[in-house]
Amino acid sequence: MGADRLTVSETSERSGFSASALRYYEREGLISAERTTGGQRRFDRAELRRLAFIAAAKHVGLSLDEIRAALATLPTGRSPTKADWRRISNRWRSRLDAEISALRQLRDGLDGCIGCGCLSLQQCRLSNPDDRIAPRGPGAVYLSDVLRPHDE
């Protein structure tokens, strides 16, 4: 095992992920570590790039399954190249464009209503008298699907 390997605490410090998150991502097959003879994890420095990718993917809103599928397309045995990352990130472009559009609509609608179906604003009495939107479900029912929380 080379001296270029990082301990859990070093990897945590460099990546910004907690040690428990690193162990979880390893269990989920998103990153890998080797073990010392004493059973301690050692991460190759290339795992820092995978962790940066995971952080970016989470910000974009990808689920762990989507992150796992994207990481599975990366080469094993070598650090991913700029072309590897470009290929993956290009797949996110339409998703990001949709999210940007939805955020603009949300921003532009905040002055009047955020589309929650509540009766708390004066305008809601006009847009949603007698709370007729309630059967559509809880929460911000008019909020774009792109901006709704996704279960993993």
| Domain, as residue range, for 86 | 5-91
Cα separation of 26 and 32, whole Å? 5
> No. of H helices and E strands in the chain?
7, 3
Residue 17, domain member (yes or no): yes
For the chain, the helix, strand and coil percentages under 3-state DSSP, each to the nearest 5: 55, 5, 40
CATH number where 10 lies: 1.10.1660.10
Cα separation of 149 and 152, whole Å? 10
Q: What is the pLDDT of residue 12?
A: 95
103 lies in the same domain as 55: no
87 lies in the same domain as 99: no
72 pLDDT higher than 60 = yes
Give tens-digit pLDDT for 84-141.
888 888 888 888 888 888 888 777 766 666 555 454 555 565 566 677 777 877 766 7
